[in-house]
Structure 1
Amino acid sequence: MTTFDDRERSYEAKFAHDANLLFKAEARRNRLLGEWAAELLGKSGEDAKSYALTVVSSDFEQPGDDDVFRKLAGDLEGHADAATIRAKMAEMMGEAKKQVIDEAK
């Protein structure tokens, strides 16, 4: 085994680890967004949890964040505008990354 092989394995492991953390952070962000949106819609308890899961599952429709944005924009019409939703998406991504990293420690 050469140093190059060791280094290559190390980079591959780091890439896989980072991709896994990003996946978890995006799912966490979507759940947090779902909880925020549920509150705006006046949902609580199990109804709010169920709604948050629909936001998480909406992310599997196509790559990227547009599917989540479309879901929220449609559901929050009259409650939040596009700029507010985008800002909340960015805010929640930061919070989700922090939570996932803290849990990984």
Structure 2
Amino acid sequence: MTTFDEREQAFEAKFAHDEEMQFKARARRNKMLGLWAADLLGKTGSSANEYAQSIVAADLEEASHEDVVRKLTGDLGSRASEEQIRMKLQELLVQAQADILNETS
């Protein structure tokens, strides 16, 4: 195998790893976001966990996070504005990425 082939394989492996980490971070962010929203809705225990899982599933509908924002905006109504949801989404993504990095270290 040539050096070029080895570099290409290493690049492909890194790309796949990075994509997997981003997917895990987004899923974790969505679960945390779902638990936050469940709390605002007064859900606890298994009901809160089921709601959080519905947020994780909602993110699989579109390539962006707009499907999650749309669902939460509809579900939360006046309990949280779209701006608050978007801010929480960004805040939790940073936290989820840090959590994932700490787990893999």
Pair 1:93 & 2:77 matched? no
Match of 1:55 in 2: 55
Cα distance per residue 1:57-102 (max 9 Å; x no partner): 0011111101011011111111000110000000000001011111
User: 1:99, 1:50 → 2: CA distance?
Assistant: 22
Displacement after TM superposition at 1:54 (Å): 0.5
Match of 2:15 in 1: 15
> Percent identity among equivalent residues?
50
Pair 1:73 & 2:73 matched? yes
Pair 1:5 & 2:12 matched? no
Query: Match of 1:58, as an amino acid?
Result: A
Displacement after TM superposition at 1:3 (Å): 1.0
User: 2:17, 2:61 → 1: CA distance?
Assistant: 24
Cα distance per residue 1:43-63 (max 9 Å; x no partner): 111110010001000011111
How many residues of Structure 1 are paired with residues of Structure 2 in the alignment? 105
User: 1:96, 1:74 → 2: CA distance?
Assistant: 24
Q: Give the ranges of 4+ consecutive aligned residues of structure 1 lying more than 4 Å apart after TM superposition.
A: none
User: 2:30, 2:62 → 1: CA distance?
Assistant: 14
User: 1:93, 1:19 → 2: CA distance?
Assistant: 15
